[in-house]
Structure 1
Amino acid sequence: MSRSGLTAEIADCRVQLEHGDITRQTTTSIVNSMCGGTSLGGGECNKAIVNAAGNTIATEYQTNNKGNSDLVMTKAGNLEQTQIFHVVAKNDTTVLKDLVERTLRKAESEEMVSIAFPALGTGHMGGDAKKLAVPMFDAMRDFALEDRPIVLRTIKLVIYKPELFDIYKEAMQETLDRYCIVD
């Protein structure tokens, strides 16, 4: 398969899959994948975001993380985005789908126009990309169709590792086939 992206139009939302660096996205918010705990650190995605955003987000994360939550929001520090949603991804598909939906709802309530997710659970956590891709796209589809967001119009899944891109592209085509418009 090629490394070209894929786009699906679902209700008033655009779901996009692309190969790239999440820290270089032009979205209003991004998602940071974490392994858990009360401080930032861990996998490649997390380290890249913390390095690009600067240390101020680590302090804000600790302040905002009430009760060891699996979804914590901070400002974006030195990044172009407005907000970072720090999530603790699990390799459980039901939990992952719920986490993605809650993140999208939080982004909508915070009036984010766009958001970019990494391939949650596939880095430091070592999750199976084939297993984890589908619930991410299911959550995006369900959010667009059931929540009918007013503000959040663009949802991106940004894949950094080339070996994962084709897996996510195939999952998107299978899950969102009837909505796909551009390849």
Structure 2
Amino acid sequence: MAGGSLPGHQHHAQCSIPRRGSSIFWPRTRLISVSVSPFPPSSADNLDVLAAFRTDCVCVMRPDNPLASRTSLTPQDLKDEPLIALIYRTLTWSFMSQRFAEAGVTPKVVAETQPSYSACGMAALGLGVAIVDPISPGIFGSALRTVPFEPKIPFNFQVLKPADAALSRAGKRFLEEVLATIEERHDYGQIIHNIPA
């Protein structure tokens, strides 16, 4: 998802929903009580899932890339393109590898990164085509073009809060914004889990 972090640290990741401008911090810091994460929590994390969503990854590139005008892109279309991928420990990497292998194409990966925001930034600089969630590219506005990837690569994300803390007013408002944004933008995802806050 869209975000930034201090180099080498996951305790301070900021996350934004395009067009709504909401920001939050990881709940482990206890600074704010809500987080958006592509990683499901383990029982050791002591986090509750308030909502979970499923969407499909997209390809992002600079508008001057010849592939930017396509209605969809396949592994075959990307076989000679420099590819920016989410790191190999993610489900996105696993699905991407599977899709390319099924097509008999070896991806030309020039960079691996996490989070999607970072991959989008590299794509906006012209380093290649990134395969990311559909929300993160919105932060870059007209600097990037988004094209659906086929066959689909699923991308799940969750809204989390500390299990031992009540949801703050700011957290409730943020959750409302996330739900409203996704209701407006079906390409951002479909809800697969929702509990009362």
> TM-score per shorter chain, which class?
under 0.3
TM-score w.r.t. length of structure 2:
0.26
TM-score w.r.t. length of structure 1:
0.27
For the pair shown, the structure with the greater C-alpha radius of gyration is 2
